[in-house]
Structure 1
Amino acid sequence: MLDLFTIFSKGGIVLWYFQSTSQIFTPSVNALIRSVILQERTGNHSYEHDSLRLQYKLDNEFELIFVVAYQKILQLSYVDKFLNDIHLEFRDRFKNELQSSQWFSDYTFKKSYDNILVAAENWGKAQAKLPKQMRTFDESFKSKKTVASMIERKDDKDNKKQEGKCLFTLVGKKKKGTNGTDDDLISSQEVLQVEAPKPVQNVNGDVFEDPLMMNRIKLAQKFSGQKKKADKQKSPKPEKAGKKPRVWELGGTNKDLATLERTKDKPEDEGDYIGADTTLIGKMKGGIQDLEVESDSVEESDEVEEIVEVNKSPVQKKSGGMLSMFKSLVGNKSLKHEDMLPVLDKLKDHLIAKNVASDIATKLCDSVATKLEGKILGTFESVANTVKATLTEALVQILSPKRRVDILRDAFEAKKHGRPYVMAFCGVNGVGKSTNLAKICFWLIENNFRVLIAACDTFRAGAVEQLRTHMRHLNALHPAEKHDNQTMVQLYEKGYGKDAAGIAMEAIRFAKESRFDIVLVDTAGRMQDNEPLMRALTKLIRVNEPDLVLFVGEALVGNEAVDQLVKFNQALADYSSSNDPHIIDGIVLTKFDTIDDKVGAAISMTYITGQPIVFVGTGQTYTDLKSLNAKAVVHALMK
């Protein structure tokens, strides 16, 4: 059933392996190492690649990795038991023989492997035949209740009975009719006593009456012949006042427009010239500067909490710091999951408070627990410091890109081949796609690239006019006469209501003919659940094949970032007819200047996609564009 079993060290040395088929498993194992182990995603012990499912187990004491590979269409329930058993067997041999420089023969361990595999398979078959067992009392919900909550008192019963009583009673006796029948059950002399319902208050303090009680009153009044009395008298509606003209405090007439007009960069005679802030010129040449994140939070102190037991209940002394209550010295012992659990819970709450999505925070803490379980701590190493240091390393590793996105280098390479470098921007509504496209455009023309902006947002009113305004500002900063009379920025637009994919295709063709270096494609904002617009975006990317697809997301979002990125990637994959669909290549994180040290959205986005954050928007001017500094972000996140 198992296609591959291998044991290798974290340094990459294969210690033992067994392969039952002729299939090449190297790409799958390398993908596991690259995408899971190196990217700190070891919380889930299963990974799928092509048609294979790979399950693994880490030995942190000896830095070993045990990997099993089999076809993912198979449902093998014994793999976890097999990995645990083979792990224990190999640990004993590794500890007793390899540390003393003695090697064992492959044949000897092959026998152990076969025996453990057969035992695990038999255990799986036996488990499949067993009927489903009922849960024990300890597993039931009733066992979680306290004794006090299950004690019923006499006063409680009387109150419940009183509440359940019928609120109206008949006083009097039945009167026989003239023919001896019970014709006249209720005479006019008999009195019907009705207990008025007590008003009930809701959470907001509003008083209302129980509709069931009101229905009972109606029934009683019907039998007694009494007329219904209105509880509340409806107040007459006030007459609708007519619309009154608004009176402005600082009103004026058309004659005052000249004195109120304060626009500094308005077009002269409706021309293309706009007086711009020339102090921005020359600030964006070369690479983009790294982001600096400042935090006013106080770092946690390294004081160790003393826990004193009184009557077997821990009494904790208060001290500063986020994790101080869990710090205790551990000397030369193996780290267990129970030791890390309080620290991990506190760290998870801290990450969620810093805007990390809750699912991502849970997976990160599970990955840290898997990585540290079984590790030997030194005499003066505390659990809290070890867990925090490991989590910090994991966060830096996640934010560090697997591949470097060098737009300037790629643009020069495309220019050598005589074609424009194409970048497409996508994202949800209102995140700042057009604004950050203009910032990136300014950075590109600062590095002497001619840029063509393709206005493919044909839905939002004012989208083309916004890009036209940016184009005028950018051309004012870099006039054509300074660049051999060539316009540095040009807008390609076909108006509204047109096919975005077709406009992008025509823009790329026009850029190639007019010798533009880079094409920036602005797309319409769309929600991740809007299927028609997601299909249109997929068509644009599939038809035009841009070099870089950037997802523009806000730094303000928390859990929503996960849903947006997952569904965007899923839509680009599902609606594309290609076997290798083009999904998101990088992320532009906007509005980063509005979140202080709550930088968790960066972790959520990179963890979900595995793609780097290429640009970070930090303000409202063209120079407010930075590149992500992983260590600075993690430092702010862990404070």
Structure 2
Amino acid sequence: MLDHISISHQNSTGGLVLWSKSFTPAFSTLVTSTASPINALVREGFIENRLTEETGYEKDGYSVRWTMENGLGLVFVVVFPALLPLAYIPQLLARTKQLFLSLFQTYLQGLIDSLNSGSAIVEHISQSALRLLQTQLEIQQWGRIFDRCLKDCESQDTVGFSYHTLRSTHSSCLSDSVVETYFTNTYHLIQRDTSSCPGLSDESSTPVTAEEISKNVQAIKSKLKARKPRGGRESAVSSSPSRKTPSSAGAKLMRKWGDSVVSAEDMASFDYSAPAPTTNGHSDAPAVKTDDLISTAAMGTRNKQGTYEVADWDLGRSELPTEEEILARVTGKLKITDEVEKKVGWGDMLNRLTGKKILTEEDLRPVLREMEKHLMGKNVAKDIAEKMCEGVGAALVGKRLGGLTSIRSQVQSSLSDSLTRVLTPRTSTDILLEIQRKRSALTSLSTSPGPYTLTFVGVNGVGKSTNLSKVCFWLLQNGLRVLIAACDTFRSGAVEQLRVHVRNLGALGDEMGLAGEGGKKVELFERGYGKDAAGIAKDAISYAKEQGFDVVLIDTAGRMQDNEPLMRALAKLVSVNDPDKIIFVGEALVGNEAVDQLTKFDRALKDFSAAGIGGTQRKRGIDGIILTKFDTIDDKVGAALSMTYVTGQPILFVGCGQTYTDLRQLRVNHIVQALLSS
């Protein structure tokens, strides 16, 4: 029903849009043009001061209503079709303003103060405060909160809500004129009967009879019936065979158990075991349902270059606080600031208003202590949370705090910047680009460098084999030939597990048309159990080089980080084969234990891989991280921060499900949002 809503800040020097949302494609293109009714409102209403909130504003078939918050200079504007008399607009504007201020007033104050000062010195502060506000808008799910508020207001307007429902339901088969004619006539009838609405113009004040309304309804029904797609529910019901009664011939027969002899036919009917796969990997295997192996909703997208990219991880918080809870949380949010204000006294308050307040350790201590507890509550390791907050405090001591900016908002802004710096990758995370570079070198060099190799390491039961297969699916989607090396020769069923994955991935490749060049797209290289894992990996790489495979994924046995003999064996595999990347696979839900695992794996690999003959081999440590079971932690993403902090290596992917498409990229801003969310 609405076309557009925006929240902006207006002052004598200009304006800044803090948040906006367009509900129709036509207005999305119009909003940035000079013909936009919002631009006309700014010019005639705010600059020329010729309009008032009570009278509203209409332009080019649009009706514009707004309300202001003079203390912060905020303007809340809604745009809707002028044809529709939406009685709930004043209530919507009032509730939107109340909720927005309740959630974000703390973050708005510093931004507004810096904007109003107009000084070039505070330009950096303004940008930082704006980024913090935008981050909080996503963290607090402001878009969803507004949608719920709008829906609640619409439900109180019967005519408007019916119009919105019909338009959204039948927008593909009804023209605008048919729908608007029907509801305009309906509203006119209600207006005439109740006499509660203002009078109509001479052109539209003709009484509308019930017969005319009935004709309009019949016209809508006729259009719906004429445009109804074939194979609808009625045809499906009429063409479906009649259901058989339990006594019919096709009914399930009761099985008889006892001492009677079971015939060969009975044994065959009870045998549901699948035929064993043949040497080709998957051709004789039972048919696999695609829906069981991939999730359509979790599929990634292809960019303009045709590269398949996995989807981004989303916080996906489903629970929204009620409006009463939002309003009740305001006092709690300001508790720390109030405590600090009582300590600094009126003298320091005056210094802050005049831009002379200098932050001290005493000012920052209670806020930093609370931030430290907040990070630990998000599953960040205790010592890392302490170091992060100490660094933020050291950077803020001695800085000038001007205007009405609260100490809490200043600390949170600095913490956000610090988290971003820590989480930003120091090395390239584009594995596809590195594979392409190695393939290019393969064609240009007389001596082939061989396939790109990835080794997956980690403790027992974290999901190395499962996430290796997800990475394999991603590589297959990008047209690469993959060889999986079964180097877990210890765990019973490890080779069979990979064989099932290869069979499924091969079947998916055939069904999805991912035909590769030069042979099968994915194969398994295995030598059974009890063999030397380093030797198997070496043979697999040689085989892949001969057969023209692009990538080799090396699966290793799980082992505890404190088991020195097993860690030496893993370091031997790394030293002998020198993989392009060593990927640590860890669980996102174990918290501090994951940090201990990663630290000791990295240290052991560096120590033992360099302990070759004469100690001349280069040290190899962890090159990247995959966090599994990410769908079980909600917004407690502290393990991602802790692991990146201790190693400096990036989070390449996160696993969040059981299908091959349940692999996600973890963006830096997503982690920061989750860590700062309340």
1:538 maps to which of 571, 583, 593: 571
CA displacement at 1:404 relative to structure 2 = 2.0
Partner deviation per Cα, 1:126-161 (whole Å, 9 max, x = no partner): xxxxxxxxxxxxxxxxxxxxxxxxxxxxxxxxxxxx
| 2:295 and 2:661 in contact (8 A); partners too | no
Shift in Å, 1:482: 3.8
Change (3 A) 1:269 1:363: closer
State the Cα deviation string for residues 183-214 of structure 1 (Å, max 9, x = none): xxxxxxxxxxxxxxxxxxxxxxxxxxxxxxxx
Distance across 2 between alignment mates of 1:251 and 1:608:
65
- Show the counterpart of 2:549: 516
Alpha-carbon displacement from aligned partner over 1:261-288 (angstroms, at most 9, x marks no partner): 778x865789723423346499455222
Is 1:377 the equivalent of 2:408? no
The equivalent position to 2:282 in structure 1, one of 262, 265, 272, is: 272
Is 1:319 aligned to residue 332 of structure 2? yes
Q: How does 1:500-515 map to 2 (within 5 A)?
A: 500-515=533-548
CA distance 1:304–1:627, change in 2 (3 Å): closer
Distance 1:376 1:395 in 2: 22
Question: Structure 1 residues 487 and 325 mapped into 2: Cα distance closer, same or farther (>3 Å)?
Answer: farther
2 CA distance for matches of 1:320 and 1:333?
22
Match of 1:478 among 504, 509, 532: 509
* 1:373 to partner: Cα distance: 1.1
d(CA) in 2 for partners of 1:395, 1:302: 29
Q: Is the 8 A contact 2:595 2:639 kept in 1?
A: no
1:34-433 equivalence runs, <5 A: 272-273=282-283, 274=285, 275-278=287-290, 280=294, 283-284=299-300, 286-295=308-317, 296=319, 319-320=332-333, 323=336, 326=339, 328=341, 330-331=352-353, 332-418=356-442, 419-433=450-464
Equivalent-residue separation in structure 1 for 2:290 and 2:431 (angstroms) = 25
Deviates more, 1:602-611 or 1:273-282: 273-282
Give CA-to-partner distance per residue, 1:510-547, whole Å, 9 cap, x none.
Answer: 10011100000001111110000110111111111111
Normalized per residue, the structure richer in helix is 2
- Alpha-carbon distance between aligned partners in 1 of 2:579 and 2:278, rounded to the nearest angstrom: 38
Paired AA for residue 272 in structure 1: H
How far the C-alpha of 1:485 sits from its partner, in A, is 7.0
Question: How many residue pairs end up in the alignment?
Answer: 378
Contact 2:378 2:635 in 1 (8 A): yes
Using the size of structure 2 for normalisation, the TM-score is 0.52
- Match for residue 498 of structure 1 among 499, 514, 531: 531
Deviations 1:6-42 (A, max 9, x none): xxxxxxxxxxxxxxxxxxxxxxxxxxxxxxxxxxxxx
Q: Give SS of 2:561's match.
A: coil
Letter in 2 for 1:383: I
Aligned-partner SS, 1:381: coil
Q: Where do 5+ consecutive residues of structure 1 fail to align?
A: 1-98, 100-249, 306-317
1:617 pairs with 649, 655, 659, which one?
A: 655
TM-score, structure 1 as length reference: 0.55
**How far apart are 1:257 and its partner, in Å?**
7.6
Calculate the aligned-residue CA RMSD, in Å. Answer: 3.1
Higher-Rg structure is 1
Pairwise CA distance, 1:354: 1.0
Which secondary structure does the structure 2 equivalent of 1:565 belong to?
A: helix
| Cα distance in 2 for residues equivalent to 1:346 and 1:281 | 41
CA contact (8 A) 2:591 2:638 kept: yes
Give SS of 1:549's match.
strand
Q: Secondary structure at the match of 1:483?
A: coil
Q: Is the CA contact (8 Å cut-off) linking 1:452 and 1:516 kept in structure 2?
A: yes
Give the aligned residue type for 2:369. Answer: D
Instruction: Write the distance in 1 (CA, Å) between the matches of 2:364 and 2:421.
Output: 21
Q: Residue 526 of structure 1 is aligned with which of 551, 556, 559? A: 559
Identity, in percent, stands at: 49
C-alpha distance 422-334 of structure 1, shift in aligned 2 (>3 A):
same
- Answer whether contact 1:424 1:520 (CA < 8 A) is retained: yes
Q: Distance in 1 between matches of 2:339 and 2:289?
A: 54
> In 2, are the aligned partners of 1:277 and 1:477 still within 8 Å (CA)?
no
How many Å apart are 1:589 and its aligned residue? 0.7
Residues 1:458 and 2:496 aligned together? no
Describe the SS at the equivalent of 1:319. Answer: helix
What does residue 474 of structure 2 align with? 443
The CA distance in 2 between the partners of 1:304 and 1:335, in whole Å, is 27
Q: Say whether 1:551 aligns with 2:581.
A: no
CA distance in 2, matches of 1:321, 1:487: 62
Give deviations 1:323-374, integer Å, cap 9, x for gaps.
Answer: 5654646443111111111111111111111111111111111111111111
Contact 1:281 1:477 in 2 (8 A): no
